[in-house]
Structure 1
Amino acid sequence: MLSGVASAASRATDPGAYISFSPKAGAFSLIGAPVVVSRDDHPGVVRVAGDLRDDIERVTGVRPGDALAREVVLVGTIGRSPLIDGLIASGKLDVTGVRGRWETSLQTVVERPMAGVDRAFVVAGSDPRGTIFGAYDVSYGIGVSPWYWWDDVAPMRRDAVYVRPGRFSQGTPAVKYRGVFINDENPALGTWAPAYFGPGKAPGFPGGFNADFYARVFEVLLRLKANYLWPAVWGRAFAEDDPHNHARAKEYGIVMGTSHEAPMMRGIEEWNRHAVPAVRDADGEVVTPGHDPYGGTGEWSFRRNADAIKAYWRDGIRRMVDQDFEGVVTLGMRGNGDTSLPDGDGVELMREIIETQRGILKEVTGRPLAEIPQVWTLYKEVQRYWDRGLRAPDDVTVVLTDDNWGNIRKHPDPAAPPRPGGYGLYYHFDYVGVGRNYKWVDTTSLPNLWDQLHQAHAYGNHGLWMVNVGDLKGNELPTQFFMDYAWDPGRLDVDDIPAWEQRYARQHFGAAQAQAIAGVLATYGQLQSRRKPELLNRRITLAGSQVVYDDQATPFYGRELEQVTEEWRGLAKDAERIGKRLPAGAQDAWYELVGYEVLATANVYALREAEFTNLRYAAQGRAATNDLAAVAEAALQRDFAFADRFNSQVAGGKWRGFQTQPHIDYGDVERYGPNAPWQQPERNNVALPDVLFPAVERIDVPSAAELGVAVGGGPEEGTVLALSPYRTGPAPSIEVFNRGRAPFDYRVAASVPWITLDVPRGRVDQQVRVTPKVDWSKAPGGRTEAEVTVRGAGTSVTVPVVAENTSPRGLRGFVEADGYVAVDAEHHTRAVGTWRRIDRIGRTGAGMTPWPVTAPRQTPGRKGSPRLEYEVSLLKPGPVTVWAYLSPRNPALPTGGLRYALSFDDDVPQSVDIHAATGADDGLMNPQWARNTSDNVNVTSTRHAIARAGAHRLTFWMVDPTVVLQRLVIDTGGLRPTYLGPPESHRIR
């Protein structure tokens, strides 16, 4: 049974909060105190006592002994440790609120616990994992990072380490099973692990991961207070790759499972290595016979090869019984290779499969089924079975999933009767599939992650949480956050995220730079949430129901990419400056946890900016075209250099081969085949140092000078200079460029005196940017047309100018300029009802969501209905379109859709079903869904008639909870295409 567990009665604390580095009255000194454990305890507890000794030595330089002394650390499990049980029996140790609970620990100092011992610091667990988590909590408190080995984090040396007097517990975890799925591990982990730990032990499969590798995985999971693992799958078989793998998991106290596609404790690779499937014609007749070890046809098909499949499953459960390891059994069946079943998706077939599997479980184990932890994961197409009415037996945990891009697809129905097996969650930090693989660096937004985990917990999902971490290394920050939240959601509210980021930074780099590092990590997360780096070389468009991959265009428009790249450059400079302030012993950890992902991603943006500007310049014949080609190629070489530093220099080459994940030349169908729009290239970019996709261009630049002029401002390019006193963002500008090699003199002049130019004359080698300035006190009121003339190289170009000089009288709120009004969600004039601001969840700012997330559906337009009101000023009457930028949530509630409503002034609100409006379908993973998730926003629109110019009230009405509003943009007729949306409008208060 995988139900949630209540918190312990003991005093809950932040991890390690009972540790002090200065003496306190009654405190217990850890320096010099032996760490003692009973050999009768669980092997994992005996082992963790050794880790605690190692950790104390890492911090203090003094290694603890393991024999009783006057002052001693006692580590043990209630009911398994004679040391702990003796203290309880003598009345020295009160385990109220701990005994009998799940994975709960107690840390306390006991006076005169036994003969010959004056004081003991006791770490007592309700069960073996409770003890293990309690011991590792001490390690965390004294300054040892859970990632000390995985990221070469050297703890700060301390001359004094004390335990405060009192009674401390981290409580009982809110989520019972908490784990990671190591997945999509090629090429990075699959290259590094066999080279570092030695090859797998299955004959003919040297790429397998052995028990020494998994020991390091198990340790970091336990240090994170995780207890559960789905092992690596692609080309790997946990049980076969090392016969000691399951025994090592048992020794450490890790619960083993298998992924959503691998039922009955058997990885799919175990089948693939030993079975050759029969080949059939269109009529289903066997053309080429197949075989498997069970005398079947070799097909992964329950319809055509049921007897062999059943025998295969029976062996998986028998192995679990014979080896006596703790496991959670996956039920159901998916197609081989993480696809839908080749047998079709009939409900009766899936019901038969699950009933068959449970029959095998009961037969082989001899135990009541309710005592065997089981899960059925509604991944991708499997959710359709549930939607069609198929229900798993009540003792089975039903694992709901995200859409592979961090947006949960379904929550438990609050109106449904409770299920003893409860619900679980399968979530992604890493993915292979449409719209594009994302496997390279951490791209998780902590505010978005918080929102989704909060929703899951609020709707009663707390039986089992699993997250796909890819290679694990590289996703340290979100993995630690995920586990911290799963342990105690009440300790991690959305407003606590900045403090959590500072604790994370302090744990790895010390207090001096913790705030600055946390700021870099926060900004990094928001910039990454705009778009995955792998997706920077295409703009997705739609043609009917088909996605068109325009691989010759960046997803950003005009100067928008320039602005975004500059933000990344600024972040990289901040990161480098902070890194230089850290001591030498922190440099490896800095590069692994912060430096590489920031610097390398910023460099990819610089590469893309040069690459796509080069393509645009080539079309315009600019003299700067070839220089930008060289800039892009130099950035590609820097990308290789960043990876080489990680592979060859960090930690003395410990991570050689780890940074091998392709992330630049996606999309080349000619080179990589029909899946190239989303699938990674088959070989690493380093093998192709002279290739960029799309390829940069070089042009023949004539010797004679030739004038060229381009008009742009903000994210757009155009032919008209649009000027307004209420314009925001970068000023519109004129680029005076050369199409030849010879430089020339230029002059720029306006046709009216109230327009001046910042650099009205000069000399152009390749190009110069000229920005107009307007004296609005002298400009005529209303709309005025003028001209700016550019002369040079014996010719001239005239640029039209339109100036809108509207009097501020009667204008309030956000004012129209350039044909639009843009408002960020958090800048409402009035909020009715309860709303929650989630900082940094938007691509450009915060988001607003109705609160609580479990609130019932509302009827918009009623008095008191929850709503956000925005004051805006429009310059003319007429039709407008309002675009709502929303986080790309799925209709996860049983209300039939996900809705909001919009209105102006006292008009009747227009209700929008977000997914019906766009056609996005997470179940089918269709083109519109691929666009929304790739863009990380769902943009929908409503049309309105504005009867008069002036101030208006725009109202965003709550209909359903879980909707997150990021921005509202009113198109009054001049809105130009952008990726992030136009800059927020000028506000008159």
Structure 2
Amino acid sequence: MRRSAALIVLPLLAAAVTPAVATPAAGATAAESYVVTAPRPGAFPLVAKGKAAPLVVSDADHPGVVRVVGDLRDDVERVTGVRPATSVNDVPAGSEPVLVGTIGVSPLIDGLVRRGKLDVAGIAGKWETSLQQVVRDPLPGVRRALVIAGSDQRGTIYGAYDVSRRIGVSPWYWWDDVPAKQADELYVLPGRHTQGTPVVKYRGFFINDENPALDRWAPTQFGQGLAPGFPGGFNSRFYSRVFETMLRLKANYLWPAVWGRAFAEDDPANHATASLYGVIMGTSHEAPMMRGIEEWNRHAVPAVRDANGTIVTPGHDPYGGTGEWSFRRNADAIKAYWADGIERMKSEGFEGVVTLGMRGNGDVGLPDGDGIDLMQEILGSERQILADKGMSDVPQVWTLYKEVQRYWDKGLRAPDDVTVVFTDDNWGNMRKLPDPSLPPRAGGYGMYYHFDYVGGGRNYKWADTINLDNTWEQLDAAHAHGVDRLWVANVGDMKNEELPLQFFLDNAWKPIPRKDLPAWEKRYAAENFPARYADEIAHILHEYGVLQARRKPELLNRRITSGPGTAVTYDDQMTPYSLENYREMDRVTADWQRLAARSQRVDRVLPESYRDAYFQLVGYATGATANLYELRRAEFTNILYAGQGRAATNDLADLTDARFADDQALSTYYNTELAGGKWKGFQSQPKIGYGDVARYGPNAPWQQPELNNQALPDEVFPAVQRIQVPAAADMGVAIDGSDQWWPAATTPAVLPTFSPYQSQPRQYLEVFNRGATAFDYRVSSARPWVSVSKPRGTVDKQVRLEVTVDWWHAPRGTTRVPLTVTGAGRTVVVEAVVDNPATRPTRGYVEANGYVSIPADGASRVVGDWVRIPDIGRDGAGMRPDPVTAPRREPTGPRLEYTVNVNTTGPVTVWVYLSPRNNVHPTDGLTYAVSVDGESPQRVNVTTATGADDTAMNRQWERNTSDNVNRTATMHVLDRPGEHVLKVWQVDPTVVVQKIVVDTGGLAPSYLGPPASTRVR
């Protein structure tokens, strides 16, 4: 079942996986690794000749350090089959031990420092910094030892886990069933080895939007929550696995799950378990003062008031209040509630970061309005509670999520020691960054970022949809702006977001230069799979992120269009990818088919022990998404065919059903057989049934299909159609670039214009049957140099014919060539328009089919400093000014120049495709400028031009984020045919240019825009 489930979707394409050279240590290059599998001069034998070095720790050390020694012991055994002995305080006689401890806490480590055996300069006093070093003669009678020393508790923990990773244990060994790399012997090279000090102090993630996946899986795996009457909570057994994984990833900070869950109540041991592991606890943007909102909801019944504010139905809460989550109407009770949260933190002694501020119950704005005076009062009350409890020194944050950012924009500032956390717009685009002109804050700045989201324009919860190039650009901007106090990412269920989460945390530890991104991807692959396949798997994962980021899978049945001005129209029964123009739907589906086939080839050659991990980290997401694209193509083609009465209509309905069955089979395998049933119920997130308002109610356009709060099995929406065709043959003709059919259409059948410079070298026409009886057809061309691939034959249901031009014999200028199609008693004339320019351009992008499409990195001249970001665009690289912290400037200097050749004159429209960024600086909007030849640059304020509001999250914003692009236009007049220079000017440095399209009158609607035009060099 494992193999057949993984290969259920696609046929294989011929290719081979090229083995790569193995690296000395898992996840590390030869230059980085300090662990090898063969003896070297001076190397420490961690495991040699069937014997493992004993692990020694002091009982005076932090509990988290004592605990991690057990994990290191287990990891060594996972790799070598040899289980090290562990010892507390005492070094076994005659041994060469591993000494694990914290500087200033462990007598073992401090003794080495006092005797001059261990130099901790550059380590001691740092934040979460570790040192691994082979020390000679560390103790009487001990010839040498491997010392793992940390500057603090987590420094030591990270040091131990770094050894685990170097010997071949992935951080995802449990969460994704990644096997440990096997070795008979392990040696640690001499020298000082350190991972340095993290750049971002608090680094972590938010488990959120956790229903239905974690909600169904966790109780089966770990048992129910322990809060009386609320068994759906997550207990300490579950969080132990979360804490271990996050520490292996060098994270230190967690926002726990909140959907109907209360961390402190669901298991009284949860906070103590966090302390045991050494994890810093926080609470989300809607949960101030160390209290989850569910703690209030479980024990408070809000009063009901009439329109005048008079209570008509009394409410209650444990603090003698009205039960309302309103600071204006129930302040005393709420303040008492918050005080209890801080008292619990103080009495239990767990390490935490306190969230300040207040939002409405249910992740919404305050019911009392957004007046600055009210928020000032709330912040002041919270600060007073902390002072009263003697907890003023605890780190505090104010997260400017959604509507909360309005307070900041209106001038409200938290106290200087509070960390101000800026947020993205839930779709990976930061909304605000620190103003570089302002002085630094004592509390610094933080960032809250999303890899998963519930809300408009649509939930995206099912699979990883992150393009690492895009994420890198935003993380790079955050680093450049000094956002380094706290980073937290919403990772949904945590599972399915492994790659972006690890990338996020690695960037928080130390910024990754863009040029090193391919190497990082390969290290990630090598850490989880055999090194000889790492390069191929890294390429698959990279391409997966690029394709997935074009559009979220949940949005494949929603077309968003713009009307006059900035009006936006949604159609949840239309594919966003064009079925008729530029063969777009065919092309994007083929991209996914090729990627899935490539993934399947790797799956076939992997050792059996890696296949469960591969299915979880690579195979399922690539195969299931490819299958989903094929399903959508069949579904929407079926709807088109039904309107044309094609005999092939029902075949497409059958294909849709088959792809849906494949989707369900993959989910069933995931939920029942994968890893011996370990992930029972986990793959239950709907992704196909979005948008069915009639069935699922008014929130259906964005909310997952639900009934009684339980996710249903996915159902295809819109529904496919089945038709009954007559017995007699009846010919219809369809053409490239149109959704009409002939002879029914009232306009002539004209193919898109042929040009020797078009990027799509062929057009097509389809001869189809509208009846059940086959018929013979014939196509004749009026000119011998225009031909069709199959000029005659028999049509059972339909035949696609490719139309080509022999450019050697085609006359110069524009020629209209009739193609006469006959069959089943009908005749249809299709016109081929052939444009063979009399003059041939010598350079630049050349107009064809009424447009010029230019990739952002295709500039003929780059003026000033720009960064090329490969694959950040929906179909190519992007260009961003450098540095990203530069001030706004007039469009007089840095620019991208593109040479274009057109064969028309008059007005043209220049569309610039930008990454859907928000205006992160205190200006009037995100701005760039465009000019052609010597004209004055036209400034374009993207914010006002599109009407997108990332605070109100209006429909214009939903369009930009759902489409993953900002499209804005300028009008220009070309005074002559031939060569022109189009210039895109820097105004704001945070603009990322993806693509430019010049519409000379023939641009057709599509999602990605037309393919790149031919470039003459």
TM-score over 0.5 for the alignment? yes
Structure 1 distance, partners of 2:729, 2:159, is: 75
Cα pair 2:689 2:705 within 8 Å, conserved: yes
Q: Is 1:825 the counterpart of 2:856 in the alignment?
A: yes
Amino acid at match of 1:29: P
| Length-normalised TM-score, structure 2 | 0.94
1:259 aligns with 2:281: no
Count the aligned residue pairs.
970
Tell me the residue number matched to 2:182. 157
Distance 1:564 1:685 in 2: 34
Would you say the 8 A contact 2:56–2:98 is kept in 1?
yes
2:961 and 2:248 map into 1 onto residues whose CA distance is 33
Q: Displacement of 1:955 after TM fit? A: 0.9
SS in 2 for 1:723: coil
Q: Which residue does 1:405 correspond to in 2?
A: 427
Deviations 1:794-819 (A, max 9, x none): 11111122111103434521100000
1:6 corresponding residue in structure 2: none
Alpha-carbon deviation of 1:542? 4.1
Q: Which residue of 2 aligns with 1:512?
A: 532
Partner-residue secondary structure (3-state), 1:450:
helix
Amino acid at match of 1:680: Q
Q: Deviations over 1:111-164 (max 9, x none)?
A: 010012111110100000000011101111111100100000001210121111
| C-alpha separation in 2, matches of 1:402 and 1:62 | 47
The farther-off stretch of 890-899 and 86-95 is 890-899
Letter in structure 1 aligned against 2:35:
I
Deviations along 1:579-606, whole A, 9 cap, x unmatched? 1110010010000110111111111101
Could you tell me how far apart the structure 1 residues matched to 2:32 and 2:682 are? Answer: 32
For residue 113 of structure 1, the aligned residue among 138, 154, 174 is: 138
Offset at residue 683 of structure 1 (A): 4.8
| Secondary structure, aligned partner of 2:384 | helix
**Partner residue of 2:992 out of 954, 964, 978:** 964
Question: Paired residue for 1:334, among 356, 359, 369?
Answer: 359
Q: 1:929 aligns with which of 957, 972, 981?
A: 957
Match of 1:95 in 2: 120
Q: Measure the CA separation in 1 of the matches of 2:31 and 2:281.
A: 26
Residue 903 of structure 1: CA displacement?
0.8
Rate the CA distance shift 1:36–1:719 in 2: closer, same or farther, 3 A.
Answer: farther
Q: Secondary structure at the match of 1:814?
A: strand
Match for 1:196 among 221, 243, 247? Answer: 221
1:976 aligns with 2:1004: yes
**Displacement after TM superposition at 1:263 (Å):** 0.3
Three-state SS of the structure 2 residue aligned to 1:295 is coil
Q: Which moved more, 1:751-760 or 1:118-127?
A: 751-760
* One-letter amino acid of the counterpart of residue 964, structure 2: N
Conserved in 2, the CA contact under 8 Å of 1:36 and 1:73? yes
Report the counterpart of residue 571 of structure 1 in structure 2. 595
For 1:684 and 1:577, the matched residues in 2 are separated by 42
> Which amino acid in 1 is paired with 2:185?
A
Whole-Å separation in 1 of the counterparts to 2:868 and 2:851? 25
RMSD: 1.7
74, 80, 86: which one aligns with 1:66: 86
Asked if structure 2 preserves the Cα contact closer than 8 Å seen for 1:441 and 1:475, the reply is yes
Q: Percent identity?
A: 64
Q: What CA distance in whole angstroms lies between the structure 2 residues aligned with 1:188 and 1:473?
A: 9
Give the secondary structure class of the aligned counterpart of 2:323.
coil
CA gap 1:215/1:405 in 2 versus in 1, 3 angstroms: same
Offset from partner CA, 1:428-464 (integer Å, 9 cap, x none): 0000000000000000110111110110010011000
CA spacing shift, 1:15–1:676, aligned 2, 3 Å: farther
User: 1:547, 1:118 → 2: CA distance?
Assistant: 75
Aligned to 1:677: 701
Q: Are 2:407 and 1:385 aligned?
A: yes
Letter in 2 for 1:77: T
Of 499-508 and 779-788, deviating more is: 779-788
The match for 2:970 is: 942
1:239-638 paired onto structure 2 within 5 Å = 239-364=264-389, 366-367=390-391, 369=392, 371-489=393-511, 492-542=512-562, 547-558=568-579, 559-638=583-662
The answer to whether the aligner puts 1:847 opposite 2:878 as a matched pair is: yes
Give the match for residue 671 of structure 2.
647
State whether residues 907 and 1000 of structure 2, in contact with CA within 8 Å, keep that contact through their aligned partners in structure 1. Answer: yes
Of stretches 892-901 and 638-647 in structure 1, the one that deviates more from structure 2 is 892-901
- Indicate if the aligned counterparts of 1:882 and 1:971 stay in contact, CA closer than 8 A: yes
CA-to-partner distance for each residue in 1:677-723, whole Å, 9 max, x for gaps? 00001159998779421000000111111101001159999941121
How many angstroms apart in 2 are the aligned matches of 1:901 and 1:713? 32
Q: 1:567 aligns to what SS in structure 2?
A: helix
Aligned partner of 2:750 in structure 1 is 720
Paired amino acid for 2:758: R
Counterpart contact for 1:662–1:685, Cα < 8 Å: no
CA deviation digits over 1:483-541, x for unaligned, max 9? 0000011xx11111111111111111111111110111011000001000000011012
Structure 1 runs not aligned, ≥5 long: 1-11
AA of the residue aligned to 2:474 = Q
Preserved CA contact (<8 Å) 2:696 2:707: no
Task: Classify 1:212/1:546 alpha carbon distance in 2 versus 1 (closer, same or farther; 3 Å).
Answer: farther
Per-residue deviation, 1:895? 3.1
Aligned to 1:661: 685
Structure 1 contact 16–138 (Cα < 8 Å) conserved = no
1:729 shift after superposition: 2.5
CA contact (8 A) 2:733 2:768 kept: yes
Q: CA deviation at 1:548?
A: 2.9
Match of 1:52 among 29, 49, 72: 72
Task: Give, in whole Å, the separation in 2 of the partners of 1:211 and 1:716.
Answer: 61
Equivalent position SS for 2:561: strand
Match of 2:36 among 11, 20, 24: 20
Change (3 A) 1:980 1:714: farther
SS of 1:120's equivalent in the other structure is strand
Aligned in 2, Cα 1:13/1:740: closer, same or farther, shift over 3 Å?
Answer: closer
- Are 1:698 and 2:726 matched, yes or no? no
2:956 counterpart letter in structure 1: Q
The question of whether the paired residues in 1 share the 8 Å contact of 2:687 and 2:704 is answered with yes
Alignment of structure 1 residues 792-811 onto 2, 5 Å: 792-811=823-842
Q: Distance in 1 between matches of 2:233 and 2:864?
A: 56
Q: In structure 1, how many angstroms separate the alpha carbons of the residues matched to 2:603 and 2:128?
A: 38
Q: Secondary structure at the match of 1:868?
A: strand
Structure 1 residue 645 displacement after superposition: 1.0
**Which one of 913, 935, 940 corresponds to residue 907 of structure 1?**
935
> For 2:251, which of 226, 231, 244 is the aligned residue?
226
Aligned to 1:210: 235
The 3-state SS of whatever aligns with 1:30 is strand
Take 2:428 and 2:839, find their aligned partners in 1: how far apart are those partners?
44
Distance 1:357 1:408 in 2: 27
Matched, 1:952 2:980: yes
Q: Which residue pairs with 1:8 in the alignment?
A: none
Q: 3-state DSSP class of the match of 1:293?
A: coil
Distance apart, 1:896 and its partner CA? 2.9
TM-score, normalising length from structure 1?
Answer: 0.96
Please list every run of 5 or more consecutive structure 2 residues that lacks an aligned counterpart in the other structure: 1-27, 742-747
Residue 735 of structure 2: aligned partner? 711
Q: Distance in 2 between matches of 1:592 and 1:715?
A: 39
Rate the CA distance shift 1:511–1:684 in 2: closer, same or farther, 3 A.
farther
Measure the CA separation in 2 of the matches of 1:923 and 1:850: 26
Query: Which amino acid in 2 is paired with 1:453?
Result: L
- Distance in 2 between the 1:691 and 1:577 partners? 30
